Amino acid sequence: EAQLVESGGGLVQPGGSLRLSCAASGFTFNSHWMGWVRQAPRKGLEWVGNINPSGDDIQYVDSVKGRFTTSRDNARNSLHLQMNSLRVEDTAVYYCVRVEVAADNIWWFDPWGQGALVIVSS
């Protein structure tokens, strides 16, 4: 069974940095696009970014471009999100997600990790 486990969340001051990690197991990690989705407290879901299997095609939502960097280590089955210049509005639970693709290129997020809480506050 595919499983994703995030780590690295915590409290950070505005302008600070934090690095999230996601440990993947139960599937062929280097065959899948991976991504991050966040959820601010009592809010909806926001897609943050996706990364292709080889790590050389990366997409971000505009609000994090230039501040967040996602990367992957296929040898260690791990995904990372380096978050710099953090803002109060980045406060959220960050979910690591696997991208599943059907034969007709329909794709969706499954599974989701349990989430890592990031709080940006002074």
Partner 1 sequence: DIQMTQSPYSLSAAVGDRVTITCRSSQNIDNYLNWYQQKPGQAPKVLIYGVSTLQSGVPSRFSGRGSGTDFTLTINSLEFGDVATYFCQQSYGRPPYTFGQGTKLEIK
- The dihedral over CA atoms of 22, 40, 84, 28, expressed in degrees to the nearest 10, equals 20
| Residue 64 three-state SS | helix
To partner 1, the closest distance from the beta carbon of 85 in angstroms equals 20
Q: Is 109 in the site for partner 1 (CB under 8 A)?
A: yes
Q: How far apart are CA 95 and CA 52, in angstroms?
A: 17
Q: Which of 9, 100, 117, 119 binds partner 1 (CB under 8 A)?
A: 100
Closer to partner 1 by CB, 16 or 42: give it: 42
Q: Which of 23, 30, 111, 119 binds partner 1 (CB under 8 A)?
A: 111
